[in-house]
Amino acid sequence: MNEGSTAKGRERGWVMIHMSIRCVLAAVLVAGVWSTGAWAAGAGPEVTVSISGSLGEMLPVLQLLRNMGFGFESPDDSDQALRLEVHSVVRDTDLLKDLLEGQTVHAPEDAPVEEAPEPEPQDTLGLYRPAVDPAEAAPGDTVTVSVVVVDPEGDVDTIGAELVGVAGSHADLYDDGTHGDEVASDGIWTRAMTLPDEILPGPHHIEVVAYDSYGDPVTDADGLPLRTRIPLRISR
C-alpha cells in the first residue's frame, strides 16, 4: 500500500469519526425534543454515551466533546437543561499497543545493573574470584570451593583449602575434572568439601593457599604467600 492510499484511508477514518460525533449530537437533540415535559418540570434530561476504541482513536473524540462542553460536568452545570455524560472504554490490548508504539519502556533508575566480571590478567600471578557455594551451610553439608589461578611461570603445583581454626578440615583443590571440578585445565581449581559435624555455628573462613612442587607456599611479587580467604556462615 502506498502513502497516497494510506493518507486517503486515514482521511476516511476521520470522516467516519466526525460523522459518528454528529450522530451522537443528533441523538442528544432528539432526546431534548422528546423531553420538553421534563424541562418544564425543572429536571433536565440526561443522555449517556459510551465510546469504545483504542487510545489513539478516542483522544480526538473526547477532546472535541470537551471543547463543545460535554462530558465534564461541574457544580455550575447542575441547572443546565441538557447534560451529556460521556464514558470512555479503552480495550486493554489497544492500550498496550499504543503504549508500546508511542513510548519506550525504561528500567527504574535505581534498578541494580549486573556487570560482567573483568577477566583475570593472564600475566600476573594471583588467586582470583574465590568462592564457596553455598555461602551458608550446616555442619555435615557439602560445599564447593573454587578459585581462578593465574600462574604464568608454572610455579603452582597444589592449591589447598582449610577452614580456619578447624582441625582436620584441610582439602586439596583440583583442576583435572575430578573432586567436583567441572572442566580440566581451565584454570578454575575446585573441590567439593564436606564440613565437619563438630563445626560451631556462626561466621567462618576458608583459607586457600597455593603451594609449589616442594610443598612450600608460592609467593607473590612482594614475597608474601599466595593466599586468600572466603567467608562462610555455618547455620545451626
CATH number at residue 169: 2.60.40.10
Residue 107 within a domain: no
The answer, yes or no, to whether residue 136 has pLDDT greater than 50, is yes
Number of domains within the chain: 2
Residue 109 within a domain: no
pTM: predicted TM-score of the whole model, two decimal places: 0.52
Do 139 and 214 lie in one domain? The reply is yes
Residue 45 within a domain: yes
Mean pLDDT across the stretch 51-73? 64
Residue 111 within a domain: no
Do 67 and 136 lie in one domain? The reply is no
Residue 136's domain comprises: 126-234
Do 7 and 56 lie in one domain? The reply is yes
Do 135 and 230 lie in one domain? The reply is yes
Residue 135 within a domain: yes
Do 132 and 96 lie in one domain? The reply is no
Task: Write out pLDDT tens, residues 33-49.
Answer: 444 444 444 555 555 66
Do 97 and 188 lie in one domain? The reply is no
Do 68 and 138 lie in one domain? The reply is no
Residue 85 within a domain: yes
Do 130 and 97 lie in one domain? The reply is no
Residue after which a domain boundary falls, among 102, 134, 161: 102
Do 88 and 144 lie in one domain? The reply is no
Do 18 and 77 lie in one domain? The reply is yes
Question: Between 161 and 115, whose confidence is greater?
Answer: 161
Task: Write out pLDDT tens, residues 63-104.
Answer: 776 666 655 554 455 555 555 555 555 555 555 555 555 555
Residue 116 within a domain: no
Q: What is the DSSP string of the chain?
A: --HHHHHHHHHHHHHHHHHHHHHHHHHHHHHHHHTHHHHHTT---EEEEEEEE-HHHHHHHHHHHHHTT-S---GGGTT-S-EEEEEEEE-HHHHHHHHHHH------TTS--PPPPPPPPTTS-EEEEEEEESSEE-TT-EEEEEEEEE-TT----EEEEEETT-TT--EEEBSSS-TT--STTSSEEEEEEEPPTTPPSEEEEEEEEEE-TTSPBPB-TTS-B-EEEEEEEE--
Residue 121 within a domain: no
User: What pLDDT, on a 0 to 100 scale, did the predictor assign at position 35?
Assistant: 46
Task: Write out pLDDT tens, residues 201-222.
Answer: 999 999 999 999 999 999 999 9
User: What pLDDT, on a 0 to 100 scale, did the predictor assign at position 123?
Assistant: 87
Cα 225 from Cα 210, distance rounded (Å): 8
User: What pLDDT, on a 0 to 100 scale, did the predictor assign at position 15?
Assistant: 46
